[in-house]
Protein backbone atom coordinates (compact mmCIF):
# COMPACT_ATOMS: atom_id res chain seq x y z
CA UNK A 1 0.00 0.00 0.00
CA UNK A 2 2.85 2.38 0.80
CA UNK A 3 4.50 2.00 -2.62
CA UNK A 4 1.20 2.42 -4.45
CA UNK A 5 0.33 5.47 -2.30
CA UNK A 6 3.72 7.07 -2.99
CA UNK A 7 3.44 6.44 -6.73
CA UNK A 8 -0.08 7.87 -6.89
CA UNK A 9 0.96 10.91 -4.88
CA UNK A 10 3.83 11.53 -7.30
CA UNK A 11 1.41 11.24 -10.23
CA UNK A 12 -0.87 13.74 -8.50
CA UNK A 13 2.09 16.09 -8.10
CA UNK A 14 2.90 15.84 -11.82
CA UNK A 15 -0.74 16.41 -12.80
CA UNK A 16 -0.88 19.56 -10.73
CA UNK A 17 2.05 21.02 -12.61
CA UNK A 18 0.70 20.07 -16.01
CA UNK A 19 -2.93 21.06 -15.53
CA UNK A 20 -5.01 23.21 -13.25
CA UNK A 21 -4.30 23.57 -9.59
CA UNK A 22 -1.07 25.58 -9.47
CA UNK A 23 -2.29 27.65 -6.52
CA UNK A 24 -2.81 26.13 -3.07
CA UNK A 25 -6.22 27.04 -1.67
CA UNK A 26 -6.76 24.55 1.17
CA UNK A 27 -4.23 22.90 3.47
CA UNK A 28 -4.67 20.41 6.29
CA UNK A 29 -1.68 20.10 8.62
CA UNK A 30 -1.79 17.18 11.08
CA UNK A 31 -5.52 17.63 11.64
CA UNK A 32 -7.11 15.41 14.26
CA UNK A 33 -10.67 15.33 15.56
CA UNK A 34 -11.69 13.53 18.74
CA UNK A 35 -15.39 13.37 19.57
CA UNK A 36 -16.80 12.91 23.10
CA UNK A 37 -16.20 9.42 24.38
CA UNK A 38 -12.65 9.52 22.99
CA UNK A 39 -13.87 8.65 19.47
CA UNK A 40 -11.02 9.45 17.07
CA UNK A 41 -12.65 10.63 13.83
CA UNK A 42 -9.50 12.01 12.15
CA UNK A 43 -5.88 11.13 12.90
CA UNK A 44 -3.21 13.66 11.91
CA UNK A 45 -4.44 14.19 8.35
CA UNK A 46 -2.21 16.33 6.13
CA UNK A 47 -3.40 17.35 2.66
CA UNK A 48 -3.03 20.15 0.15
CA UNK A 49 -5.93 20.97 -2.20
CA UNK A 50 -5.23 23.27 -5.14
CA UNK A 51 -7.45 25.86 -6.74
CA UNK A 52 -9.96 24.44 -9.20
CA UNK A 53 -9.46 20.78 -8.28
CA UNK A 54 -12.39 18.34 -8.28
CA UNK A 55 -11.59 15.99 -5.42
CA UNK A 56 -13.60 12.94 -4.41
CA UNK A 57 -13.15 11.58 -0.89
CA UNK A 58 -14.00 7.90 -0.46
CA UNK A 59 -14.18 5.49 2.43
CA UNK A 60 -16.58 3.38 4.45
CA UNK A 61 -19.16 4.92 6.77
CA UNK A 62 -17.26 6.10 9.83
CA UNK A 63 -14.00 6.56 7.92
CA UNK A 64 -13.98 10.30 8.65
CA UNK A 65 -15.20 11.68 5.30
CA UNK A 66 -17.92 13.95 6.68
CA UNK A 67 -15.75 15.04 9.58
CA UNK A 68 -12.94 16.05 7.22
CA UNK A 69 -15.32 18.02 5.01
CA UNK A 70 -16.96 19.81 7.93
CA UNK A 71 -13.67 20.94 9.42
CA UNK A 72 -13.21 23.12 6.32
CA UNK A 73 -16.04 25.45 7.40
CA UNK A 74 -15.59 24.61 11.08
CA UNK A 75 -18.95 22.95 11.48
CA UNK A 76 -16.63 20.48 13.21
CA UNK A 77 -13.78 21.97 15.22
CA UNK A 78 -10.37 20.29 14.90
CA UNK A 79 -9.00 18.96 18.15
CA UNK A 80 -5.48 19.65 16.94
CA UNK A 81 -3.67 20.71 13.79
CA UNK A 82 -4.10 23.60 11.38
CA UNK A 83 -6.39 24.24 8.41
CA UNK A 84 -5.44 27.03 6.04
CA UNK A 85 -7.53 28.65 3.33
CA UNK A 86 -5.54 30.93 1.05
CA UNK A 87 -2.70 30.59 3.53
CA UNK A 88 -4.71 31.78 6.55
CA UNK A 89 -5.21 29.48 9.53
CA UNK A 90 -8.99 29.32 9.90
CA UNK A 91 -8.80 27.55 13.27
CA UNK A 92 -7.86 30.93 14.79
CA UNK A 93 -10.66 32.99 13.27
CA UNK A 94 -12.99 34.90 15.57
CA UNK A 95 -16.77 34.83 15.15
CA UNK A 96 -16.89 37.74 12.70
CA UNK A 97 -14.00 36.40 10.62
CA UNK A 98 -15.53 32.92 10.60
CA UNK A 99 -18.82 34.25 9.25
CA UNK A 100 -17.00 36.04 6.45
CA UNK A 101 -15.02 32.91 5.61
CA UNK A 102 -18.11 30.69 5.57
CA UNK A 103 -19.79 33.04 3.10
CA UNK A 104 -17.31 31.86 0.46
CA UNK A 105 -17.73 28.15 1.17
CA UNK A 106 -20.82 26.53 -0.34
CA UNK A 107 -22.17 23.41 1.39
CA UNK A 108 -24.33 20.76 -0.30
CA UNK A 109 -25.97 18.24 2.02
CA UNK A 110 -27.09 14.65 1.62
CA UNK A 111 -30.62 15.44 2.86
CA UNK A 112 -30.85 18.72 0.86
CA UNK A 113 -31.51 20.95 3.95
CA UNK A 114 -34.25 22.95 2.24
CA UNK A 115 -37.16 24.77 3.84
CA UNK A 116 -39.83 22.56 2.33
CA UNK A 117 -42.73 25.01 2.67
CA UNK A 118 -40.81 27.85 1.06
CA UNK A 119 -40.53 28.54 -2.64
CA UNK A 120 -37.45 27.40 -4.50
CA UNK A 121 -36.25 30.97 -5.07
CA UNK A 122 -36.43 31.69 -1.32
CA UNK A 123 -34.33 28.62 -0.61
CA UNK A 124 -31.69 29.73 -3.10
CA UNK A 125 -31.68 33.25 -1.68
CA UNK A 126 -30.55 31.69 1.60
CA UNK A 127 -27.15 31.57 -0.08
CA UNK A 128 -27.10 35.38 0.02
CA UNK A 129 -27.80 35.74 3.76
CA UNK A 130 -24.22 36.64 4.59
CA UNK A 131 -24.32 39.56 2.17
CA UNK A 132 -27.68 41.08 3.16
CA UNK A 133 -28.63 42.97 6.38
CA UNK A 134 -30.62 40.82 8.79
CA UNK A 135 -33.65 43.11 8.75
CA UNK A 136 -33.97 42.68 4.99
CA UNK A 137 -33.85 38.88 5.22
CA UNK A 138 -36.47 38.81 8.01
CA UNK A 139 -38.84 40.83 5.81
CA UNK A 140 -37.93 38.88 2.69
CA UNK A 141 -36.70 42.11 1.09
CA UNK A 142 -33.71 40.90 -0.87
CA UNK A 143 -32.08 43.38 -3.28
CA UNK A 144 -32.86 42.95 -6.97
CA UNK A 145 -29.23 42.01 -7.59
CA UNK A 146 -29.48 39.10 -5.17
CA UNK A 147 -32.68 37.86 -6.81
CA UNK A 148 -30.91 37.97 -10.17
CA UNK A 149 -28.01 35.98 -8.72
CA UNK A 150 -30.45 33.36 -7.38
CA UNK A 151 -32.29 33.06 -10.70
CA UNK A 152 -28.99 32.76 -12.55
CA UNK A 153 -27.94 29.95 -10.18
CA UNK A 154 -31.19 28.10 -10.93
CA UNK A 155 -30.54 28.48 -14.64
CA UNK A 156 -27.10 26.92 -14.16
CA UNK A 157 -28.74 23.74 -12.84
CA UNK A 158 -31.59 23.87 -15.38
CA UNK A 159 -34.57 24.36 -13.07
CA UNK A 160 -35.27 28.10 -13.34
CA UNK A 161 -38.89 27.28 -14.26
CA UNK A 162 -39.32 25.89 -10.71
CA UNK A 163 -38.40 29.20 -9.02
CA UNK A 164 -41.88 29.80 -7.58
CA UNK A 165 -42.69 26.18 -6.75
CA UNK A 166 -42.65 24.96 -3.15
CA UNK A 167 -39.50 22.94 -2.44
CA UNK A 168 -41.47 19.93 -1.20
CA UNK A 169 -43.21 19.66 -4.58
CA UNK A 170 -39.94 18.79 -6.31
CA UNK A 171 -38.35 15.41 -6.97
CA UNK A 172 -35.25 14.41 -5.02
CA UNK A 173 -32.96 15.27 -7.91
CA UNK A 174 -34.58 18.67 -8.34
CA UNK A 175 -34.27 19.36 -4.61
CA UNK A 176 -30.57 18.57 -4.73
CA UNK A 177 -30.19 20.95 -7.67
CA UNK A 178 -31.78 23.64 -5.52
CA UNK A 179 -29.10 22.84 -2.94
CA UNK A 180 -26.43 23.29 -5.60
CA UNK A 181 -28.00 26.56 -6.74
CA UNK A 182 -28.07 27.82 -3.13
CA UNK A 183 -24.34 27.09 -2.84
CA UNK A 184 -23.68 28.82 -6.17
CA UNK A 185 -25.58 31.90 -5.00
CA UNK A 186 -22.88 32.41 -2.38
CA UNK A 187 -20.33 33.03 -5.14
CA UNK A 188 -18.08 30.49 -3.41
CA UNK A 189 -14.39 29.79 -3.77
CA UNK A 190 -14.91 26.27 -2.42
CA UNK A 191 -17.87 23.89 -2.66
CA UNK A 192 -18.24 21.02 -0.19
CA UNK A 193 -20.68 18.24 -1.10
CA UNK A 194 -21.36 15.68 1.63
CA UNK A 195 -22.73 12.47 0.06
CA UNK A 196 -24.85 14.53 -2.39
CA UNK A 197 -26.27 11.50 -4.24
CA UNK A 198 -26.76 9.04 -1.38
CA UNK A 199 -30.56 9.30 -1.52
CA UNK A 200 -30.90 9.49 -5.32
CA UNK A 201 -31.46 6.82 -7.95
CA UNK A 202 -28.62 5.96 -10.38
CA UNK A 203 -29.68 8.17 -13.34
CA UNK A 204 -30.32 11.17 -11.09
CA UNK A 205 -27.03 10.56 -9.28
CA UNK A 206 -25.19 10.85 -12.58
CA UNK A 207 -27.10 14.02 -13.45
CA UNK A 208 -26.18 15.68 -10.15
CA UNK A 209 -22.53 14.64 -10.43
CA UNK A 210 -22.42 16.03 -13.97
CA UNK A 211 -23.79 19.35 -12.70
CA UNK A 212 -21.14 19.53 -10.00
CA UNK A 213 -18.32 18.67 -12.39
CA UNK A 214 -19.55 21.11 -15.06
CA UNK A 215 -19.76 23.96 -12.55
CA UNK A 216 -16.29 23.10 -11.28
CA UNK A 217 -14.89 23.22 -14.81
CA UNK A 218 -16.74 26.35 -15.93
CA UNK A 219 -16.18 28.43 -12.77
CA UNK A 220 -12.91 26.90 -11.52
CA UNK A 221 -14.50 26.41 -8.09
CA UNK A 222 -12.49 24.06 -5.91
CA UNK A 223 -14.87 21.16 -5.18
CA UNK A 224 -14.64 18.42 -2.56
CA UNK A 225 -17.22 15.63 -2.77
CA UNK A 226 -17.70 12.80 -0.29
CA UNK A 227 -18.87 9.60 -1.97
CA UNK A 228 -19.36 6.02 -0.93
CA UNK A 229 -19.94 4.78 -4.49
CA UNK A 230 -16.63 3.92 -6.12
CA UNK A 231 -17.92 3.83 -9.70
CA UNK A 232 -19.04 7.47 -9.40
CA UNK A 233 -15.71 8.37 -7.81
CA UNK A 234 -13.85 6.87 -10.77
CA UNK A 235 -16.08 8.47 -13.39
CA UNK A 236 -16.27 12.02 -12.03
CA UNK A 237 -13.27 12.56 -9.76
CA UNK A 238 -10.00 14.03 -10.97
CA UNK A 239 -8.26 13.21 -7.72
CA UNK A 240 -9.29 10.61 -5.17
CA UNK A 241 -8.54 10.74 -1.47
CA UNK A 242 -9.09 7.59 0.56
CA UNK A 243 -9.78 7.55 4.29
CA UNK A 244 -9.93 4.53 6.58
CA UNK A 245 -10.54 4.77 10.32
CA UNK A 246 -9.78 8.49 10.25
CA UNK A 247 -6.43 8.12 8.51
CA UNK A 248 -5.34 9.17 5.03
CA UNK A 249 -4.52 5.95 3.18
CA UNK A 250 -4.58 7.08 -0.46
CA UNK A 251 -4.17 10.30 -2.43
CA UNK A 252 -3.79 10.23 -6.20
CA UNK A 253 -5.32 10.82 -9.64
CA UNK A 254 -8.50 8.92 -10.46
CA UNK A 255 -6.83 7.54 -13.58
CA UNK A 256 -4.49 5.53 -11.34
CA UNK A 257 -7.28 3.96 -9.27
CA UNK A 258 -8.71 0.50 -9.87
CA UNK A 259 -10.73 -1.97 -7.82
CA UNK A 260 -7.67 -3.22 -5.97
CA UNK A 261 -6.94 0.32 -4.73
CA UNK A 262 -10.51 0.68 -3.45
CA UNK A 263 -10.19 -2.68 -1.71
CA UNK A 264 -7.08 -1.40 0.05
CA UNK A 265 -8.89 1.80 1.06
CA UNK A 266 -11.97 -0.07 2.29
CA UNK A 267 -9.98 -2.88 3.87
CA UNK A 268 -12.20 -5.51 2.28
CA UNK A 269 -13.56 -6.77 -1.03
CA UNK A 270 -15.82 -4.46 -3.01
CA UNK A 271 -19.53 -5.37 -2.96
CA UNK A 272 -22.55 -4.32 -5.01
CA UNK A 273 -23.46 -1.89 -2.21
CA UNK A 274 -20.30 0.06 -3.04
CA UNK A 275 -21.52 0.75 -6.58
CA UNK A 276 -24.21 3.22 -7.58
CA UNK A 277 -24.61 1.52 -10.95
CA UNK A 278 -27.23 2.52 -13.50
CA UNK A 279 -26.67 3.80 -16.96
CA UNK A 280 -25.39 7.17 -18.02
CA UNK A 281 -28.14 9.74 -17.93
CA UNK A 282 -29.95 10.13 -21.22
CA UNK A 283 -30.89 13.65 -22.25
CA UNK A 284 -34.29 14.54 -20.82
CA UNK A 285 -34.14 11.85 -18.10
CA UNK A 286 -32.28 13.56 -15.30
CA UNK A 287 -34.65 13.51 -12.35
Per-residue pLDDT at 132 exceeds 90: no
Which of 152, 180, 208 marks a domain boundary?
180
Q: What is the pLDDT of residue 14?
A: 43
- Give the mean model confidence (pLDDT) for residues 118-144: 86
Are 71 and 203 found together in one domain? yes
Are 149 and 61 found together in one domain? no
Are 10 and 97 found together in one domain? yes
Per-residue pLDDT at 67 exceeds 90: yes
- Give the mean model confidence (pLDDT) for residues 84-102: 95
pLDDT tens for 187-246 read 999 999 999 999 999 999 999 999 999 999 999 999 999 999 999 999 999 999 999 999
Are 131 and 267 found together in one domain? no
- Give the mean model confidence (pLDDT) for residues 110-127: 96
pLDDT tens for 147-160 read 999 999 999 999 99
Q: Who's near 254: CB < 8 A, 6+ residues apart?
A: 56, 233, 234, 237, 238, 239, 240
What residues make up the domain containing 38? 2-104+188-274
Are 74 and 147 found together in one domain? no
Per-residue pLDDT at 19 exceeds 60: no
Which of 157, 180, 203 marks a domain boundary?
180
Q: In what order do the strands lie in the sheet with 88-89?
A: 39-50, 24-35, 80-85, 88-89
Going through the chain in order, the beta strands assigned E by DSSP cover 24-35, 39-50, 54-58, 80-85, 88-89, 105-108, 190-194, 222-227, 239-244, 247-253
Which of 130, 159, 180 marks a domain boundary?
180
Of 232, 230, 239, the residue nearest 260 (C-alpha): 230
Top pLDDT among 171 and 8 is at 171
- Give the mean model confidence (pLDDT) for residues 162-183: 97
Q: What is the pLDDT of residue 114?
A: 97
Task: Provide the pLDDT confidence category of residue 11 given band limits of 50, 70 and 90.
Answer: very low
Are 227 and 205 found together in one domain? yes
Are 47 and 85 found together in one domain? yes
Number of Cβ within a 10 Å radius of residue 208: 27
| CATH number, domain with residue 58 | 3.40.50.300
Number of domains in the chain: 2
Amino acid sequence: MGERYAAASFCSFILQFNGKGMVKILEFENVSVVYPGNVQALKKVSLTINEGEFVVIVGLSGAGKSTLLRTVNRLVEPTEGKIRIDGKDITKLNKKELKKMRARIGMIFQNFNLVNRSRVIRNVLAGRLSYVPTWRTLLGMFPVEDKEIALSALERVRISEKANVRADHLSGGQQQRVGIARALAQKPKIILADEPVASLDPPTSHAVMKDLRRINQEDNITTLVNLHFIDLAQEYGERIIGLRDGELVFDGPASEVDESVFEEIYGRSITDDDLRGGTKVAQGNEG
